[in-house]
Chain A
Amino acid sequence: MVTKLPKVPVVVVGMGWAGGIVSAELTKAGISVVGLERGKDRTTADYTMGHDELRYQHRQELMQDLSKETITYRNTVSGKALPMRHYGTFIVGDGVGGAGSHWNGQTYRFLPYDFEIRTKTIERYGIEKIPAWMEGLNDWGLTYDEMEPYYDTFEKMAGISGETVELWGKRTNPYPTPPLLKTPLMKEFEKAATSLGYKPFVIPAANLSEAYTNPDGISRAACQYCAYCENFGCEYGAKGDPAVTVIPVAKQTGKLELRTHSNVLELTKDGGKANGVIYVDMLTGEKFEQPADVVVVASYVFNNARLLLNSGIGTPYDPITGKGTIGKNYCYQVTSGGSQLFFEDREFNLYGGAGALGIEIAEYMGDNFDHAEVDFIHGAGIRSTQYGDRPIAVNRVPAGTPNWGAEFKEKSIKYANSNFPVKTQGASLPHKENYLDLDPEFKDEFGYPLLRMTYEYTDNDRAMGKYMSSITRKIAEEIGADIIDTNEEQAPFNVNKDSNTHNTGGVIMGADPETSALNTYLQMWEAENVFVLGASAFPHNSCFNPTGTLGALSYRAAEGIQKYLKEGGILVKA
């Protein structure tokens, strides 16, 4: 039995950054919002015992419960996808704040090149530079200059700490707070990179460098470099987290009705529009129908695509014909290239750190260097970070050391405080056969098909990874260490090993309804009252963590939704 509830103006599915931002903006404008979140409510009090490596990092306390739903994975279109039965990669958020509670806080803007990647690549190198399998590579439908105000709003809301980087797009304002501190290992990187002619910068962070009050009146404390950041909630509220920023602001308006333990199963349809959503109370099993004028889907990349596919909204992407859009251009992040430095007689205070603490260079990002002589496009950030090394997770030993036994113990202790990496974070560009659809066999606990991911690294990734690893080697050698191990090869994707949560695409934006699912307000071309928010909207993934960009787009979507509630119709002319 499904209980039908009274209609509301807006229902939001998922209460992470995307859902939180939209809820805050709409409720501030006086619009009533019902927020449905499958997990529980969370505040800083939940993290009193937060410095527990086992519970949070290795038992995934804050992550989605895989016994209820997961994804299935295969590496080619002809393979059989199997479920990710336990966590390896893709630690998906759950509960109020979503992954924004346990993210690192590295907060970037994408490059001007990213938003016009197809046009600019063809302009500089000719159409031959884009291989046939990368045909899905497209401009985003808006430019960096149009994105700039939204980035600015997001950064001010979260209080991003950083310094202006010359090789990035122009900023109208400096970062709202100064960059984080530089640690000795960051200074080593800085010295070496500078002497090689690069201009290193401190990574922009949502870990506050100083106490900060944002335009909504939210005051937060400074980061204490406590090192329990990535995978953990911040007990100080120093980390930008929807649960300590946008969600309390929305609650304060009195216009947000937040329903936790409310898992949305599908959207209901009425011709070319959605009627609302069906959800189940995860504690009691009761089902409800919530009608709404506007449905905002902000349930992270995977469930954004899955909910649309399970509801028959939008045209599923077909990897053979290249037609259809839902599931298209799934991209990831390329991070294999890197060099690991080991020191015999130097110790760093590696037990301290913060999720976004690090230093980086921009010279090899995007199209900041000439790609005429290389067989790839786009690039990577090259960086050294200090997140704080926790002892279960981090046991770096020189190549060739066994991973157990006397030698492992000796070396892992010897180098515990005497190592650091120079690593890469590379762009991931679309491949025709990297996509998302519904699994034909495996179901969630309610009987709905799981999302199936078909993904493998591409030639572009492998060539780029190798090139970037040589730069990490160069910097590592300039720093100087007793042992330097460099990894050049990008191994095949492994759902157990590749630990990265930068999933993008599947419900992408663009200028053309033939090749994209959303317009630049993240409004669905095929269902005008459905807005789909998150990194699922990215037509490709740049060499950055995604959240700055998805946050900025969420502000733009909030603007679009308000316009739609007033005027109706498709907001952008195709």
Chain B
Amino acid sequence: MSEQEKKDSVLDKRSSRRTFIKNSGLTVGGVVLGGALGSLLIKDDQSTITTTETPNHAATPTANPNVALMFFTPNQYQVTQAAVERIFPEDANGPGAKELNAAIYIDHQLASPWGSNVKDYRLGAFYKAEENQGAQTKILRKDLFLAGLDSLNRYSNEQFEADFKELEATQQDEVLLAFSEGKVELYGKVSSSQFFSLLRTLTIEGVYADPMYGGNNEMLGWSMRKYPGSRMQYVAEIQDEKFIELKPQSLNSHMGH
């Protein structure tokens, strides 16, 4: 057991569900907190033990059934991989967005109802907006993204006579910068900066969202910034003058297996 792991298990003991119930004086079955919370706590207690004592050796990416496409063509996927890697590149801290499976995350999101803007207001006419009125374009996120990928290739060929994914990293950065500044023709009156902003948002989400969404592979997005994921409590940690690094846990650890 490494120093860190030892510390983890001590901390986990200190913060186990059972201690929590004891210390907090929670009345399980009280007027409000009925069976639902009670069973949640017990489930979590078990999962805490499981996760600390069996370190999470995640499967290799190729064996990860989440790595499959529900929206992109293989080529669209590869362009996306190349683009997200420039938004959040591999460096001394660790893997970039490509290795973290951000492009898989994006594929899954665009295939979801969110990709079709189902919770957005889409009634009435779409007028040209002032800067402070928010986007007023009718195009759906999934179509905006595909138009953006096409446009990345078109512009790369115009500037450098090659597809986006074939370019040098510095050339790719130049292309993305032009997109971010709204300088490239995208589709109709849709601005390239609108696509860029979607790409940027989705990349950050793909790096840091819970791994059940397909990105943040092996929780490495979290561990790079020493983020512990979705643990249940930090009573001791928030009082500590020293930084306490905890191994990340995903929502899967709340399932009670």
Q: Which of A84-92, A192-200, A285-293, A479-487 contacts B (4 or more CB under 8 A)?
A: A84-92
Q: Is the CB of A221 within 8 A of B136?
A: no
Q: Is the CB of B91 within 8 A of A224?
A: no
**Distance in angstroms between the alpha carbons of A248 and B231 in the assembled complex:** 28
Contact among B23, B32, B36, B91 for A406, CB-based, below 8 A: B91
Q: A53-B210, A224-B20, A405-B87 are in contact. Are A349 and B93 (CB under 8 A)?
A: no
Q: In residues 481-497 of chain A, which contact B (Cβ within 8 Å)?
A: 492-496
User: B85 CB to closest chain A CB, in angstroms?
Assistant: 10
Q: Is the CB of B209 within 8 A of A248?
A: no
Counting chain A residues whose Cβ lies within 8 A of the other chain, the interface size class is 35 or more
User: A45 CB to closest chain B CB, in angstroms?
Assistant: 3
Instruction: Report the nearest B residue to A58, measured CB to CB.
Output: B205
**Distance in angstroms between the alpha carbons of A59 and B180 in the assembled complex:** 23
**Distance in angstroms between the alpha carbons of A410 and B90 in the assembled complex:** 10
Q: Is the CB of A67 within 8 A of B122?
A: yes
Q: Does B62 belong to the interface (CB within 8 Å)?
A: no
Q: Is the CB of B225 within 8 A of A391?
A: yes
Q: Is the CB of A417 within 8 A of B134?
A: no
**Distance in angstroms between the alpha carbons of A148 and B200 in the assembled complex:** 49
Q: Does B70 belong to the interface (CB within 8 Å)?
A: no
**Distance in angstroms between the alpha carbons of A45 and B133 in the assembled complex:** 37
Q: In residues 138-177 of chain B, which contact A (Cβ within 8 Å)?
A: 173, 176
Q: In residues 137-175 of chain A, which contact B (Cβ within 8 Å)?
A: none
Q: Is the CB of A70 within 8 A of B234?
A: no
Q: Is the CB of B89 within 8 A of A405?
A: yes
**Distance in angstroms between the alpha carbons of A181 and B122 in the assembled complex:** 45
User: B73 CB to closest chain A CB, in angstroms?
Assistant: 25
Q: Does B135 belong to the interface (CB within 8 Å)?
A: yes
Q: Is the CB of A235 within 8 A of B114?
A: no
User: Which A residues lie within 8 Å of B25 (CB)?
Assistant: 210-211, 221-222
Q: Is the CB of A181 within 8 A of B238?
A: yes
Contact with B along A200-239 (1 / 0, CB 8 A): 0000000000110000011111101111100000011100
**Distance in angstroms between the alpha carbons of A245 and B173 in the assembled complex:** 53
**Distance in angstroms between the alpha carbons of A70 and B234 in the assembled complex:** 37
Q: Is the CB of A59 within 8 A of B114?
A: yes
Q: Does A244 belong to the interface (CB within 8 Å)?
A: yes
Q: Is the CB of B133 within 8 A of A51?
A: no
User: Which B residues lie within 8 Å of A80 (CB)?
Assistant: 127
Q: Is the CB of B123 within 8 A of A349?
A: no
User: A87 CB to closest chain B CB, in angstroms?
Assistant: 9
User: Which B residues lie within 8 Å of A416 (CB)?
Assistant: 225-227
Q: Does B228 belong to the interface (CB within 8 Å)?
A: yes
User: A183 CB to closest chain B CB, in angstroms?
Assistant: 5
User: Which B residues lie within 8 Å of A395 (CB)?
Assistant: 204
User: A393 CB to closest chain B CB, in angstroms?
Assistant: 9
**Distance in angstroms between the alpha carbons of A403 and B121 in the assembled complex:** 28
Interface size on B, residues (CB 8 A): 75
Q: A45-B37, A52-B251, A181-B239 are in contact. Are A84 and B121 (CB under 8 A)?
A: yes
User: Which B residues lie within 8 Å of A405 (CB)?
Assistant: 86-87, 89, 173, 176
Q: Is the CB of A442 within 8 A of B226?
A: no
Main SS of chain B's interface residues?
A: loop
User: Which A residues lie within 8 Å of B123 (CB)?
Assistant: 83, 442-445
Q: Count of A-B contacts with CB under 8 A?
A: 229
Q: A82-B127, A84-B121, A492-B132 are in contact. Are A51 and B89 (CB under 8 A)?
A: no
Q: Does B54 belong to the interface (CB within 8 Å)?
A: no
Contact with A along B190-216 (1 / 0, CB 8 A): 000000000010011101111001000
**Distance in angstroms between the alpha carbons of A52 and B200 in the assembled complex:** 20
Q: In residues 227-257 of chain B, which contact A (Cβ within 8 Å)?
A: 227-235, 237-241, 243-244, 246, 251, 254
Instruction: Report the nearest B residue to A216, measured CB to CB.
Output: B31
Q: Is the CB of B251 within 8 A of A410?
A: no
Q: Does B71 belong to the interface (CB within 8 Å)?
A: no
User: Which A residues lie within 8 Å of B127 (CB)?
Assistant: 80, 82
**Distance in angstroms between the alpha carbons of A286 and B65 in the assembled complex:** 43
User: A387 CB to closest chain B CB, in angstroms?
Assistant: 11
User: A558 CB to closest chain B CB, in angstroms?
Assistant: 20
Q: Is the CB of B227 within 8 A of A391?
A: yes
User: Which B residues lie within 8 Å of A4 (CB)?
Assistant: none
Q: Does A28 belong to the interface (CB within 8 Å)?
A: no
**Distance in angstroms between the alpha carbons of A235 and B44 in the assembled complex:** 12
Q: Is the CB of A73 within 8 A of B208?
A: no
Q: Is the CB of B238 within 8 A of A404?
A: no
Contact among B27, B30, B136 for A82, CB-based, below 8 A: B136
Q: Is the CB of B244 within 8 A of A349?
A: yes
Contact among A49, A184, A222, A493 for B241, CB-based, below 8 A: A184
Q: Does B49 belong to the interface (CB within 8 Å)?
A: no
**Distance in angstroms between the alpha carbons of A184 and B37 in the assembled complex:** 31
Most chain B CB within 10 A, of A58, A244, A413, A441, is at A413
Q: In residues 175-192 of chain B, which contact A (Cβ within 8 Å)?
A: 176, 180
Q: Does B119 belong to the interface (CB within 8 Å)?
A: yes
Q: Does B222 belong to the interface (CB within 8 Å)?
A: yes
User: Which A residues lie within 8 Å of B213 (CB)?
Assistant: 54
User: Which A residues lie within 8 Å of B26 (CB)?
Assistant: 211, 219, 221-222, 236
Enumerate 25 A-B pairs (CB-CB under 8 Å) in ascending A order: A51-B232, A52-B230, A53-B208, A53-B209, A54-B210, A67-B118, A85-B120, A85-B135, A86-B120, A184-B241, A211-B24, A219-B26, A219-B30, A219-B31, A226-B231, A235-B37, A236-B24, A349-B243, A353-B234, A388-B234, A391-B221, A406-B91, A417-B226, A443-B124, A495-B133
In order of increasing CB-CB distance, the 6 nearest A-B pairs are: A352-B234, A51-B230, A45-B36, A224-B233, A347-B243, A211-B25
